[in-house]
Amino acid sequence: MPEEGMEDNKEGEERPKWNNKAEYLLTCIGFAVGLGNVWRFPYLCQIYGGGAFLIPYLIALVFQGLPLLYLELAIGQRLRMGSIGVWNSISPYLGGVGVASMLVSFCVSLFYNTIVAWVLWYLFNSFQEPLPWSQCPLNHNNTGYVEECVESTPVNYFWYRQTLNITPNMETSGSLQWWLVVSLATAWSIVYICFVRGIKTIGKAVYVTATFPYLVLTIFLVRALTLPGAYEGLIYLFTPDWEILKNPQVWLDAATQIFFSLSVAFGGLISFSSYNSQKNNCEKDAVLVGVINSATSIYASIPIFAILGFKAHTNYVTCLNGNILALTNEFDISDMNITVENYEQWFDSLNGTHPSRVSDLKLKTCDLQTFLDQSASGTGLAFIVFTEAVISMPGSQVWAVLFFIMLFSLGLSSMFGNLEGILTPLHDLKLVPKWMPNELFTAIICLLLFLMALIFCLGSGNYWLEIFNSYVGSVPFLIIAFFEIIAVAYIYGIGRFSDDLEFMTGHRPNIFWKVCWLVISPLMLFVVLVAYVAVQAQTPPTYAAWNPDYVNFPNTEVLPYPDWVFAICVLLSSVPVISIPLVAIYRLICCMSGRHSKDSLHNNPNPYANEDYVVELLL
Amino acid sequence: MRCLRMLVRILVLLYLAGAPALAQTLCQPNASNGYRVRISIKTALGNQAYEWNENEMFLFRATMAFAMRRYYKTETYNVDNIIVCNQTRRVSFWFVVISPENPTMLIPKADVEKAVSMSRHRINNAFLLTDRTLEFLGIYPTLAEPVNPDTPPWLIVFGVVIGAVFAGIIALLVSSLLQKRRKEKGMMEDGQDEEDRQMKGVENGINLDGIYNRGFTDDDRFTKL
C-alpha cells in the first residue's frame, strides 16, 4: 500500500478543489448554457407553435433532464474521478462508457471551438465603420459591385465568401483560409489560458463568461422592446398553436433539445463535480442548473424574437418603399404623397385607372407574415439573420460587438466542459507521464485539437462541421446516456446509490427520483433514441451547398452526400460508442484469464466501491 | 435703303422673338441630347424640405451652366444656355444644353454626361441632396470608393487580443514555475529536520507526512452519537 500511496501523491498534491461553491455552480451553468440556448431553442419555439412548445419541453426537462443531471453530478462527486474512472468503478464492464464520453467530447471540442473561432472573426470585424457585411464590395475594375453579392445579399456574401470562402460542394476541398486559421489559433489560445492552472483559472474565468451573457441579453431585451416591429415578433413567437402537440416530431425535438442543452453524457459534469467535497448537496445543484438552463433559453428567446420581429418589419417597410418609389416615378406623383400608411388606397386607385401600367411595374407583394416566417437557427441565425438586423439598428457597431462577445462567452464556457471531459479522464487513467507538468500536457492536447480542427478551416469546412454536428453531436450521446442510467440504476444498484446520496446530501432520494431513474428516464431515452435513428434513417442524407453558379442562386443547392462522406458519417456515429461493447468484451476476456481482479484493486483504491464482490458474484 | 434697314430690323426682331421659341422646340421629352432629372426633396430632407419653385429652377440652370463652364474650362456658358421643359409635380423635368456660339446647336449627350459627372458633388450640395435624391436618368453615379485602410481593422483587434492572451499565458506559466521552485527550495531547506518537516508540511498545504487516507474521511458519519 505505501508504494501505491506514493504513486497517488507523485506531486504531493491532493485532488484540486473548487475555491467556493459559486465557482462550481457558475462553471456547471456555463457549461450547460451554450450557443444552443440562444440559437436553437427560439427557432424550435417558433416552428413548433410558440408557447405550446414549452409543454413538451418542460415535461422533458422534469422527467429526463433533471434525473440525468442529478445522476451525473452525484456519481462524480461520490467517486471523485473523471468519466473513465467513474464508470470503471461502477462496473469494469461498463468502462467503455467513459471512453465513449471522452471520445465524443474530443470530437465535439474540435468543431465547437471552430464555431467560437467564427464568432471571434465576426467580433474582430465589428470594430469597423461601416460594418463590412452592410455593403457589397466593388469588383475588380470599380465599375459595379461584385456579382455574387448583388445576387444574394451583402450579409450572405460576407458569411459565405469573405468568412468561409466556401466551395460549391464537398468534393472540392479548397485551401486553408488563413484568416480562419488565425481566428482558430486565438480561440484555442484563449481556451488554453483559462485551462493553464486547471480549475483554479477556470473558476476565475467563469465569473465573467457565465454572467456576461445575461447582462448582454438584458441590454438587448431593453433595446429590442423599443424597436418598431418587436411587438409583432413577440406575438408571433409566443402565440400558442395547441394543434402542434399532436405531432410526435415536436416531442422528439423537445426531448433531444433538453438533452443536448444540458450537456450530459459529455463527462464534463462528472469531472466538475468530482472536484467537490463529498458532503455537498448535489440534488439542489442539479435542480438549480437544470432550471437555470431552461430559464435562460426562454429568457434568451425574448430579445431574439423582438429583434427578428424588428428585422421583418424593416424588410417589410423596405419592400413597400420600393413599390412606392416605382409607383411615384411611373405616375409622376408628388414626392412622398404615397406613404406606407396610404399605400393600399393609392395602389387600388391607380390599379383601377391604369391597370396595365401598374402590372408592367412588376411590384413585389409585401407581406409581414412572410418576412416573419423566415426563420433560421444555428449559424444562420447568428451570422446572417442577426447581423442583418444589427445593421438597421442605430449604433450598429456597439450592438454587433455586444452580441458577438456574448456568443463568445457562451461558447467559451461550454468549451471548458468539453475540454474537461477529455483532460480529467486522461489524468485519472494516469496516462500523463510523471515528468510532464500539467500545463505542458494541457498545451499538447490543445495543440493537437487545434491541428485537427484545421480541416474546418478549409473551403469545404462548413460542410464538414455540419456533418460533425449532426452525426457526432447526437446519436452517440443518447446511447451513452442510456448506458449511464442503466449502469447506475441497475448494475450499481439503486439501493447503493441511495445510500451514497444519503451520505452526500443528508437524505435519501424521494420516490420521484427513484421512479425516474428506474423506469421513466431509461424508457424516454430509449424511445427518443429509436425515434431519432428512425427519423434520421428516413431523411435522405443531403446537404445545402452554396454554389454561385447554381441556376436558382441565391437559393442553396441541395446535394447528396458522396459515398465516402456518408461512410465517414456512419463512422463518426458509431466509433465513439463502439468502445462500450469493446471494453466489455475485453474485460470479459481478461476476467476469464484471471488477471482482472488484480487490475481493479490497483486502479481503484476507493474503499467504498468494492467491486471485488461484484466480480465474484458474476463469476 | 430704308426698306432694307426695315427688313433687317424685322428679321432681327423675328429672330430675337423666335429664338426662345426655337430653343423651346429643341427641348422635348425623350430629346436625343437631353437628360431627365428627377428630384425627391421630401425624401431627402423630411421636415426641412424646401419648395420647388422658379427660383430653385433658376439655381438648377445656373448650376448646370457652372458645370459646363468647369468641364470646358471656358466662361462662355450662361443660364440661357440651359433649356428646361416638361416639368411635373414629381418633381421631374427634361433639360438640354445649347451651345453659346450657335443657339441652334445642342451639346452632345456624352459631353453633358461628362460635365455632370465631374461636378456631381457640387450640384448635389447646391440642393442639399444626394445621388439618390437628385437623379440624372441615364447618368450613373460613380460608386463611392470604399475606404481601404492599409492594415485591415480586424487585424489590429486580433493583434491586441492575441498579444494580451500570450502575455497572460507567459505570466501564468512563469509564476507557476516560480512557485514550484519556491516549494522545492522550501522542501530542501528543512529536509534534514524530521520534526520541522511535519510542521512545515501542513503549512505548505502539502501533506508530507503520509498518504491521504480516504478511508478515514467519512468517520464522523459513523461516530454520531
Q: Say what the ipTM of the complex is.
A: 0.78
Q: Is the pLDDT of residue A604 over 70?
A: no
Q: Which residues of A touch B137 (CB under 8 A)?
A: none
pLDDT of residue A374: 78
* Segment A114-167, tens digit of pLDDT: 999 999 999 999 998 889 999 888 887 777 788 888 888 899 999 999 999 999
Q: Does B167 touch chain A (CB under 8 A)?
A: no
Q: Is the pLDDT of residue A113 over 80?
A: yes
B170 at the A interface (CB within 8 A)? no
Examine the pLDDT at A446 and tell me if it is beyond 50.
Answer: yes
The answer to whether A13 faces chain B, any CB pair under 8 Å, is yes
Q: What is the pLDDT of residue B153?
A: 87
Residues of A in contact with B39 (CB under 8 A): 335
Grid coordinates in use for A250?
A: 415536436
Instruction: Check the annotation: does A33 bind a ligand.
Output: yes
User: pLDDT band at residue A5, thresholds of 50, 70 and 90?
Assistant: very low
Q: Do A607 and B214 touch (CB under 8 A)?
A: yes
**Which of A116, A164, A160 lies closest to A404 in space, CA to CA?**
A116
What confidence category does residue A10 fall into, taking pLDDT thresholds of 50, 70 and 90?
very low
* Alpha-carbon gap, residue A215 to A606, rounded angstroms: 43
pLDDT tens by residue, A514-551: 999 999 999 999 999 999 889 888 888 888 899 888 88
Provide the b/e sequence for A446-461 (b: ≥16 CB within 10 Å): beebbeebbbbbbbbb
Q: Which of residues 334-393 of A touch B (CB under 8 A)?
A: 334-336
* A136: closest chain B residue by CA: B146
Q: What mean pLDDT do residues A284-293 have?
A: 94
pLDDT above 70 (res A615): no
Facing A196 at nearest CB: one of B158, B169, B214: B169
pLDDT value of residue A71: 94
pLDDT digit string, tens, across residues B157-211: 999 999 999 999 999 989 988 988 998 888 777 555 555 545 444 444 444 555 5
Give A35's DSSP letter.
Answer: H
Q: How far is B66 from chain A (nearest CA, A)?
A: 27
Minimum-distance CB partner of B212 among A14, A127, A328: A14
Do the beta carbons of residue A514 and residue A464 sit within 8 Å?
no
A261 is in an annotated binding site: yes
Q: Confirm or deny that A410 is annotated as ligand binding.
A: yes
- Burial tier of A145 (Cβ tally within 10 Å: 0-12, 13-18, 19+): middle
Q: What is the full DSSP assignment across A412-456?
A: HHHHHHHHHHHHHHHHHTT-S-TTS-HHHHHHHHHHHHHHHGGGG
Count of A-B CB contacts under 8 Å: 101
d(CA A259, CA A482): 12
- Minimal-distance CA residue of chain A relative to B39: A335
Measured between alpha carbons, how far is residue A408 from residues A191, A208, A469, B17 in Å?
11, 11, 18, 78
CA of B210 to nearest chain A CA: how many angstroms apart?
8
Quick: pLDDT tens for A557-571: 889 999 999 899 889
Beta bridge partners of A363: none
Distances (CA, A) of A519 to A114, A230, A454: 38, 44, 43
Whether B117 and B27 have beta carbons less than 8 Å apart is answered as no
Is A277 annotated in a binding site? The answer is: no
> Which band of pLDDT confidence, cut at 50, 70 and 90, is reported for residue A110?
very high
CB contact under 8 A, A186 and B161: yes
* Residue A65 pLDDT > 50: yes
pLDDT tens-digit map of B34-70: 888 988 888 888 888 888 889 999 999 999 999 999 9
Least confident of A162-166, A208-212, A275-279, B8-12: B8-12
- State chain A's mean pLDDT as an integer: 87
Residue B183: Cβ within 10 Å count: 15
A contacts of B156 (beta carbons < 8 Å): 127
**What proportion of chain A, given as a percentage, has pLDDT over 90?**
47
- Contact residues on chain B for A201, CB-CB shorter than 8 A: 172
- Structure confidence at residue A9 as a pLDDT band (50, 70, 90): very low
Residue pair B77/B65 in contact (Cβ under 8 Å)? The answer is yes
Query: In Å, what is the CA distance from B201 to each residue of A12, B191, B211?
Result: 10, 11, 12
Lookup: cell for A546: 452554396
Q: How far apart are CA A604 and CA A609, in angstroms?
A: 8
Region A328-341: what's the mean pLDDT? 84
Q: What is the pLDDT of residue A11?
A: 39
pLDDT score for B205: 47
What pLDDT score was predicted for residue A472?
Answer: 87
Of B40, B153, B162, the CB nearest to A186: B162
